[in-house]
Structure 1
Amino acid sequence: MDYPDFPEMQELMICADSISPVGEVREEALVRYRHQDFPILSFRFGSTDPSAPTLLFVAGVHGLEKIGTHVVTSFLKSFIRLAQWDHTLIHLLETCRILFYPLVNPIGMLLNSRANGHGVDLMRNAPIDAEERTLPLVGGHRIGNWLPWYRGELDRPMELEAMTLCDFVRREVFPSRTSLILDVHSGFGLVDRVWFPYASSHRYYPNAPRILALKKLLDQSYPHHVYIIEPQHHAYTTHGDLWDYLSLEHQAAHLPGTMIPLTMEMGSWHWVKKNPKQLFSSFGIFNPVLPHRIKRAERRHFFLFDFLVKAIASGDRWAELQGQKQIFLEKKSRQLWYSPQR
């Protein structure tokens, strides 16, 4: 099916048409708007072993933040091509699984809206409340869908898009012995940040030592990288965060594997400072507007994506902690991210 008035969906359909035989595409759900159905698609590469190390790229949770879907889709297109001839990648895919979920919220993106078609912010929609005070409205509210950051009605099921993503993660990521998730967003910030749980609490995140080990690998391999890596609560706390919800569910199930969700928040000041007129539109605050800046944003993060592909295949270098190494990294992670003097 063609989507001439929806370029992001059209690009995903092109990927779906070109993925065979190196991978597969599945339709996770259909969402309807004005008598037209829009698919939520996932793309899979690599091992069929559900316990294999797994990396998942997610984007498009907030429809207004189109650049996230652009960046992930651009990497997906490159990945499809590389998987056809790159023997290093082909060998890696024999033991790992690489998944893409590039457009969580098709209707929101079609409408240039942060929320979905019902006016619900999907990243405030999980049935979990913040343990600390949140910013008014921004942290999530139930006043009404005419205001941004609306959580949805109390005691109602999660929105279809949020539920579909959670079911996908439970099915495809939970069984893995080591897994990483990168959820790509954009925000009005000065720098690019990579957040890890929790968004709902200032509590210590049990996988912080592993994230510190991964950070050290990134720092050593790419010493000039631009990312600030920190718990999300350093920025703000929220209700209803999907990654908190899934992390706590994974922990409560006492599953044997390690699952680490990361959220990349691209700082839009890169684009706004060069084109201040963007400040006068909600779209311009969250996205580059000029074509060459869109392409530059797509290229900017490829090295991080490639690093994560290598990292998921090398979990013994950062995810397998025990003994003195675990004690050392736990102490250092508490000092770095949880110290009162921070």
Structure 2
Amino acid sequence: MKKILSAMLAVATAGVLAACGSGPAPGNAPGGGGGAGGQITMGFSQVGAESGWRTANTTSIQDAAKAADINLKFSDANGKQENQISAIRSFIQQRVNVIAFSPVVRTGWDAVLLEAKNANIPVILTDRAVDTQEKDVYKTFLGADFVQEGQWAGEWVVKEFANATGPVNIVQLEGTTGSDPALERSTGFSKAIAANPNLKVIASQTGDFTRAGGKQVMEAFLKANPKIDLVFAQNDDMGLGAIEAIEAAGKKPGQDIKIVAIDATHDGMQALADGKMNFIVECNPLLGPQLMDLAKKVVAGEPVPARVVTPDQTFDQQQAAAILPERKY
């Protein structure tokens, strides 16, 4: 009996020690290879579906995951940070191999990012960055240089109104308050137009990156300001909403009021080619293939750059008309 009890105690003790020393689930250890059969499982939290750009971005990620044989668990946050945080915590509980997300806003991520780090699950930021005081809570950021985008838009405005002798009244349609692109595009644009003291931003308000929001804000701008020379829309959809408001007010967009936007989606490029917009800065949404490549590397424990900047370009009306037939988004 003593021998039997001793054997049982030894087995029980070994089980406790194994449980206390257990690390991340297979596939989540540094250098791990993935889930069942070696397949990587990615949890991805998307901002929402607020614009044509976002829809194209989602499609690119879903298609690229299939092509790369990555099991994608997709969550739509509907524009709410709390939904994204819940989704990320769910991914952690499910022991996915890698988490990627496009943050709704820049701040408020420290706690959940630490949870992912403590669970030994690497995180990739896509499209939008975050502000955090915590160290090593994400592996890399994949996306555009938003400051540069805003600066390119502003530089075009400076050239367009180089001969203006009086004030040039500008209204700005901002993106989602607190979001990375809204903050940085504003910074870049302001920096660029400072070169000409005649350029004045007389009103600036968020349209939340939506067409309906852009139209509503532009209607208010038109009522409050009898003279508007230019609209800077921080994305195409708000610019398209502004076009509707300008036309409803009996003015000609692109002529009476010039419009500069960012994204270069198909609808925006069509408006540019039609002369209703004047200049568009591209922000490429087709990030899927690059994201899947980065995911494979971080799961395998390979080094990746701290930031991967996607290349963009700019378009005037003639360039838009020429390239529009072959646009993929």
TM-score w.r.t. the length of structure 1 is 0.34
Of the two, which has the highest radius of gyration?
A: 2
More helix by share: 2
- Higher RCO (CA 8 Å, separation ≥ 6 residues): 1
TM-score w.r.t. the length of structure 2 is 0.35
